[in-house]
Amino acid sequence: MSPVRVQKIVCIGAGYVGGPTCAVIAQKCPDITVTIVDLNEARIKAWNDEEYRLPIYEPGLVDVVRSCRGKNLFFSTDVDKGIQEADLIFVSVNTPTKKSGVGAGFAADLNYIELATRRIAAVATSNKIVVEKSTVPCRTAESMRTILEANASPNCRFDILSNPEFLAEGTAINDLYKPDRVLIGSLQTPEGLDACQSLSDVYAHWVPRERILTVGLWSSELSKLAANAMLAQRISSINALSAICEATGANIDEVANAIGYDSRIGPKFLKASVGFGGSCFQKDILNLVYLSESLHLPEVAAYWRQVVEMNEHQKSRFAKRVVDTLFNTITNKRITVLGFAFKADTGDTRESAAITLIRDFLKEKANISLYDPQVEEAQIWQDLAEACPSLPLENIKKQVKICSSSLEACEGAEAIVIATEWKEFKVIDWEKVYKSMNKPAFVFDGRLLVDEVKLTKIGFKVTTIGRGTL
């Protein structure tokens, strides 16, 4: 046996990970044909859109797709054909938190992984390297192997690898071009190590070999959960300190700067905010909590659970600060929410702090004017309907106005809440905004984005995370 030279790749799942990751592989590996498949026809149609109106917004992505689509990059709904033709299969399907049943609210829902795995077993007619790209609980590869071996035709061999993705939305293309590391986990058998070598060779088209880490399967699976848990823990730690700053007069930026100078701590990921969002942090920590509980490690589970609880506390603490500052009532007041995406440079709204804030404001019977430069209107209504199940959508639509610019959203408002750190919110014409608002005019900066001193001089009453009022 020797490592297979990969010539055809299929990626099952054309989402935020599968799409950009495999588009970059196609661009960097012109000798490999890459097909990205998905059951979602609308998504695939958008990936094939002639005007490049792709289904996800990610800076630089259009250029990558434009450079190789139709040459060695293809998007298709024909999952079976993609599987049959490929020698390496990325499984990049969604693994959301389970909504009901055993482990509901904590465990990963592995239904999509299982269905994709069963499809591979059903249609494969030759040997395949099957790569977990999705974030999965530790030892998922074992379940995949059991399913594959029980269902596949006897002359097919499957080698399973774990290759978790560490890209961050908003910087995905740069993260993929210059990854801190590529992690590949395999069984430490001759076949497993060969498969690992085959995938390493794909990445080595552009990633320096010393950045390609090869480890055992279970270490690789756990490392992804651990990395996200540690990142989220840093945010919850700085946010916990921000509450102390607000109560004492210390300034969270100064504290973060001071502690970040310690080379053991480092300056990154120490920005206080209204809380983390996105599809991964909360889900992956809860997954770790569930894993710890199932391993009979309740203290370990409680430790990680606290990171998520702190995040929820930060969001509700911020919403309460808005209400308290507006003389303890926001009923019938117009509140402007700037930003709906969970972070800047993405249209993704999953677990966005803006959703929680708007839900809390709606409960207080406020009127909302909302503006986000990327998120589509239909997505906003869907998210708000899910977040407020007791409010009929017609009522939500009466209370929430979606605007097409910050200026429009701020007109006639009592307060502005900055929920997403879009750069354009930094350069708003604040003088003009001030004139158009009811007085006193309040700004609540949930992302430490605006110049507090400048806005205060204009006349705004500014509240920021981790600082007392000036």
**Residue numbering of the annotated binding site for substrate:** 165-169, 224-228, 264, 271-277, 342-343, 447
State in Å, rounded, how far the first CA of the chain is from the last one: 70
Q: Least distance to ligand NAD from the beta carbon of 178, Å?
A: 16
Compare residues 184 and 413 and give the one whose CB is closer to ligand NAD. Answer: 184
Q: Residue 174 carries which side chain, given as an amino acid letter?
A: N
For position 311 contacting ligand NAD by CB under 6 A, the verdict is no
Question: Of the ranges 39-47, 207-215, 256-264, 290-298, which one interacts with ligand NAD (CB under 6 A)?
Answer: 39-47
Tell me the site size for ligand NAD, rule CB under 6 A: 28
Compare residues 13 and 446 and give the one whose CB is closer to ligand NAD. Answer: 13
Nearest to 2 by CA among 203, 193, 213, 131: 193
Compare residues 43 and 98 and give the one whose CB is closer to ligand NAD. Answer: 43
27, 94, 236, 406: which one binds ligand NAD (CB under 6 A): 94
Site string for ligand NAD, 53-92 (x = CB under 6 A): --------------------------x------------x
Q: Is 410 a catalytic residue?
A: no
Three-state secondary structure along the chain?
A: CCCCCCCEEEEECCCCCHHHHHHHHHHHCCCCEEEEECCCHHHHHHHCCCCCCCCCCCCCHHHHHHHHECCCEEEECCHHHHHHHCCEEEECCCCCECCCCCCCCCCECCHHHHHHHHHHHHHCCCCEEEEECCCCCCCHHHHHHHHHHHHCCCCCCEEEEECCCCCCCCCHHHHHHCCCCEEEEECCCHHHHHHHHHHHHHHCCCCCHHHEEEEEHHHHHHHHHHHHHHHHHHHHHHHHHHHHHHHHCCCHHHHHHHHHCCCCCCCCCCCCCCCCCCCCHHHHHHHHHHHHHHCCCHHHHHHHHHHHHHHHHHHHHHHHHHHHHCCCCCCCCEEEEECCCCCCCCCCCCCCHHHHHHHHHHHCCCEEEEECCCCCHHHHHHHHHHHCCCCCHHHHHHHEEECCCHHHHHCCCCEEEECCCCHHHCCCCHHHHHHHCCCCCEEEECCCCCCHHHHHHHCCEEEECCCCCC
CB 110 within 8 A of CB 67: no
Among 29, 138, 280, 403, the active-site one is 280
89: which residues sit within 8 A by CB, 6+ positions away?
9, 10, 11, 12, 83, 120, 128, 129, 130, 131
Question: Of the ranges 113-121, 143-151, 287-295, 324-332, which one interacts with ligand NAD (CB under 6 A)?
Answer: 113-121
134, 223, 242, 463: which one binds ligand NAD (CB under 6 A): 134
For position 40 contacting ligand NAD by CB under 6 A, the verdict is yes
Compare residues 18 and 185 and give the one whose CB is closer to ligand NAD. Answer: 18
For position 406 contacting ligand NAD by CB under 6 A, the verdict is no
12, 36, 152, 357: which one binds ligand NAD (CB under 6 A): 12
CB 224 within 8 A of CB 166: yes
For position 351 contacting ligand NAD by CB under 6 A, the verdict is no
For position 116 contacting ligand NAD by CB under 6 A, the verdict is yes
For position 176 contacting ligand NAD by CB under 6 A, the verdict is no
For position 169 contacting ligand NAD by CB under 6 A, the verdict is yes
Site string for ligand NAD, 365-384 (x = CB under 6 A): --------------------
Question: Of the ranges 140-148, 163-171, 328-336, 446-454, which one interacts with ligand NAD (CB under 6 A)?
Answer: 163-171
Extract the annotated binding site. 13-18, 38, 43, 93-97, 134-135, 165-169, 224-228, 264, 271-277, 280-283, 342-343, 350, 447
Compare residues 92 and 406 and give the one whose CB is closer to ligand NAD. Answer: 92
Distance between CA atoms of 429 and 437, rounded to whole angstroms?
Answer: 13
Rg (CA), the chain: 24
Distance between CA atoms of 186 and 162, rounded to whole angstroms?
Answer: 7
For position 295 contacting ligand NAD by CB under 6 A, the verdict is no
Compare residues 111 and 316 and give the one whose CB is closer to ligand NAD. Answer: 111
Backbone angles phi, psi at 139, to 5 degrees: 85, 15
For position 39 contacting ligand NAD by CB under 6 A, the verdict is yes
For position 135 contacting ligand NAD by CB under 6 A, the verdict is yes
Question: Of the ranges 27-35, 93-101, 260-268, 442-450, which one interacts with ligand NAD (CB under 6 A)?
Answer: 93-101
Residue whose beta carbon is closest to ligand NAD? 15
For position 347 contacting ligand NAD by CB under 6 A, the verdict is no
For position 279 contacting ligand NAD by CB under 6 A, the verdict is yes
Question: Of the ranges 112-120, 204-212, 383-391, 460-468, which one interacts with ligand NAD (CB under 6 A)?
Answer: 112-120
Question: Of the ranges 38-46, 289-297, 332-340, 459-467, which one interacts with ligand NAD (CB under 6 A)?
Answer: 38-46
For position 167 contacting ligand NAD by CB under 6 A, the verdict is yes
Q: Residue 88 carries which side chain, given as an amino acid letter?
A: L
Active-site residue set: 280
Positions touching ligand NAD (CB under 6 A) are 12-18, 37-40, 43, 79, 92-95, 112, 115-116, 119, 134-135, 165, 167, 169, 279-280
